[in-house]
Structure 1
Amino acid sequence: MDWSGLSFEAFATTLVRDPSTREAFMNSMGLGIVGGFIGIMAAALVSLYVQRRRTLLAQGIDVAIKMPASISNMVIAVGILLLLGREPFNLGGTWIILLIGYLALYLPQASIASDASVAVVGKELGEASTVSGAKDWKTFFRVYAPLMLPGLVGGWALLFIRIVGT
């Protein structure tokens, strides 16, 4: 084997010097970062709502957020394209339609990760904060957010990898 022929020249030529490949790479990174953040935050808020209020509505929302996992990715993609790709939305070929599609596909995984993060915190700490007179937003930022952060970072990483790898 001729080891002198191995180099990063092809990588540098493709990613650094080719503007269309560089743009595609940056779009993928941007979608991964933004989509992962939006997805994990939405899933965390839903998980907190479901855990704090065990009503029929909360359980319905939990089922709805996990429903896309049971539907084929191709069916979801075609549905989103047909719904948002033409009049009146005209989002075909835009960054936004990709973001919506990725969120629809990977929100179930984000929901599972955030459910685990919320379960670690438990209900007692939030109830103690409420009994002490703290508002809901203060309870979230002082109690839930710090304790959920490691799990949410892991969920964000999962979403980032799924979105960028697609």
Structure 2
Amino acid sequence: MLRPDRGRVEVAGHDVVTQAPAVQFRIGLLGQHAALDEQLGGRQNLEMFARLHHLGARRARERADELLLLFRFAMLWIGIQLALVAGKPELVQAVQILVWPVGFLSNAFAAPEAMPGWLGTAVQWNPMSQTATAVRDLFGGPGGEPGHVWAAVAWPLALLAVFLPLAVRRFGRLSA
């Protein structure tokens, strides 16, 4: 952001000079659609935003791949476990819809501070919020907070530690 020549400017109660990251988080780029460029997929959009924040193309691809694959892998095993509990392994894809609220109740779309107290707290603890904040930080984007990368890695690993063994054990019972 450009520094003002004189005077003082606030955005959503944050000084644009002394609290620039908080301001950038609140006024970040938002296209008319879910993706800035409708021809790009999710990964390509992340790469594009990384490049807009002056990250090299290779590093942007690597960071996007690492965090997204780890998070998706954890969500996949939750879906597998839910489908196996339902009794029909072919329901894995259908049950994935139960994981959608994780995305909507995250800081990927709105700042937790703008939400009612209990909801904002839940959003802050959401594993996807941790991943979104870490991606912002790694890409140098607005809303990134140093220190969230460990949580973006720890949450999926914790979910994997719980749901992968449960699903494997339940699947083993099916074939026995």
TM-score of the pair, normalised by structure 2: 0.29
TM-score of the pair, normalised by structure 1: 0.30
